[in-house]
């Protein structure tokens, strides 16, 4: 009987370089509190956020993705033509089809033979993508993978909504992954709890538009059940993060850097304490002045730590994403040496 041929496992994977692009507008708490009937102190006490970064109207989510992707390619010194797959994690791409990834791949100069697809796992999307890219490379399906987390969530923010609008930011973070002779990315621990799927959502789908003539009169807006999400994150997330550390053959004291989804400073600090990390561990707190950028938050936080020198290549970082779904994913990675880009968004051309 003739047997099928399959790809040959090719060892391990690693992150070669990262890049980022943040929304170019700095929006302070004082600029958004009046319609919400709250104060700067109210936001700081509940979330730790002082400012958030948002993109101007003429900067689209694919612009952010392309800028971050180009920066990661530059940092990794990988030619776009050598990318075998482009994965874009996003919850804010506004077209049902095609996905954003093929458009971004073409704009960056990837070969038509490169796979390109979107992942929508909410704020866990980038960490989902790390698990997929790692598997692709280890199995021999791909040699180099460009992974991008990109969000322009500000158009989905209702300025009168107290549940989520005041935490929303815009940005994109990216990483190029390639082969390694030794393990530099630990196993991914992931999952979801669809019984809480309505805890983070948008008000309605594109098919639910309400029209007056030819013009839509209602735009989908983001909502969340804040107390429910907080309780779930602080009680459940530490368990799965601990599993990711154990799956990598490590102990909490082996972790040098903690890069959780930048949802809320109270959640970040609570999870860090529950994990029993070292007192000197570097904890990403990008949420304070960037806001919650969903699938972009983990790579943006990583990019910033490396660019500013708070963390450095070779350190072991626990990264964790969690959000709508409720989806979650975590893994331990060795940080790369290279970071690229200026960290600011701009309109193409």
Strands 257-260 and 316-323: parallel
Total Cβ atoms within 10 A of residue 273: 11
The pLDDT, as a whole number, for residue 241 is 94
The pLDDT, as a whole number, for residue 208 is 57
Tell me the H-state helices in 218-264: 226-247
Residues 6 or more apart whose CB falls under 8 angstroms from that of 35 comprise 159, 160
- CB-based burial, 79-113: b 16+ in 10 Å, e otherwise: ebeebbbbbbbbbbbeeeeebbbbbbbbbbebeee
- Residue ranges of the chain with per-residue pLDDT less than 50: 349
Q: Look up residue 175 and give its DSSP letter.
A: E
The pLDDT, as a whole number, for residue 349 is 44
The pLDDT, as a whole number, for residue 219 is 67
In this structure, what token pair is assigned to residue 12? 């391990």
Residue pLDDT, tens place only, 56-106: 999 999 999 999 999 999 999 999 999 999 999 999 998 888 999 999 999
Residue pLDDT, tens place only, 186-232: 999 999 887 776 767 676 665 555 555 556 556 677 667 667 777 77
The pLDDT, as a whole number, for residue 39 is 95
Degrees, nearest 5: CA angle 103-290-327: 65
Residues 6 or more apart whose CB falls under 8 angstroms from that of 101 comprise 86, 87, 88, 116, 117, 118, 148
Q: How far apart are CA 64 and CA 209, in angstroms?
A: 27
Question: Which residue numbers are catalytic?
Answer: 123, 261, 292
Q: How far apart are CA 88 and CA 117, in angstroms?
A: 6
Total Cβ atoms within 10 A of residue 274: 16
Q: How far apart are CA 218 and CA 216, in angstroms?
A: 6
The pLDDT, as a whole number, for residue 334 is 98
């Amino acid at each position: 009987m003739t047997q099928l041929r399959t790809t040959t496992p090719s060892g391990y994977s690693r992150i070669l370089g990262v890049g980022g692009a943040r929304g170019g507008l700095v929006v302070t708490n004082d600029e958004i509190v009046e319609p919400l009937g709250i104060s700067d102190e109210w936001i700081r006490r509940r979330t730790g956020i002082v400012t958030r970064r948002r993109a101007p109207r003429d900067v689209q989510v694919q612009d952010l993705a392309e800028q971050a992707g180009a920066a990661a390619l530059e940092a990794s010194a990988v030619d776009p033509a050598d990318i075998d797959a482009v994965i874009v994690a996003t919850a804010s791409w506004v077209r049902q089809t095609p996905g954003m990834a093929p458009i971004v791949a073409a704009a960056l100069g990837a070969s038509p033979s490169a796979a390109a697809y979107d992942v929508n796992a909410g704020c866990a999307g980038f960490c989902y993508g790390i698990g997929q890219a790692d598997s692709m490379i280890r199995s021999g399906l791909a040699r180099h993978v460009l992974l991008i987390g990109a969000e322009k969530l500000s158009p989905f923010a209702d300025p009168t909504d107290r549940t989520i609008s005041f935490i929303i930011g815009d940005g994109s973070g990216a990483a190029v992954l390639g082969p390694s002779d030794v393990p530099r990315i630990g196993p991914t621990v992931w999952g979801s709890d669809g019984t809480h799927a309505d805890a983070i959502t948008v008000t309605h789908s594109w098919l639910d538009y309400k029209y007056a003539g030819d013009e839509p009169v209602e735009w989908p807006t983001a909502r969340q059940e804040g107390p429910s999400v907080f309780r779930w994150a602080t009680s459940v997330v530490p368990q799965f993060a601990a599993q990711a550390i154990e799956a990598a053959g490590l102990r909490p004291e082996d972790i040098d850097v903690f890069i959780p989804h930048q949802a809320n400073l109270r959640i970040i600090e609570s999870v860090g304490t529950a994990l029993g990390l070292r007192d000197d561990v570097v904890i990403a707190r990008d949420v304070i002045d960037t806001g919650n950028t969903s699938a972009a938050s983990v790579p943006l936080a990583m990019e910033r730590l490396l660019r500013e020198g708070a963390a450095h290549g070779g350190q072991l970082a626990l990264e964790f994403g969690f959000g709508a779904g409720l989806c979650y994913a975590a893994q331990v990675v060795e940080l790369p040496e290279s970071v690229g880009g200026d960290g600011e968004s701009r309109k193409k051309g």
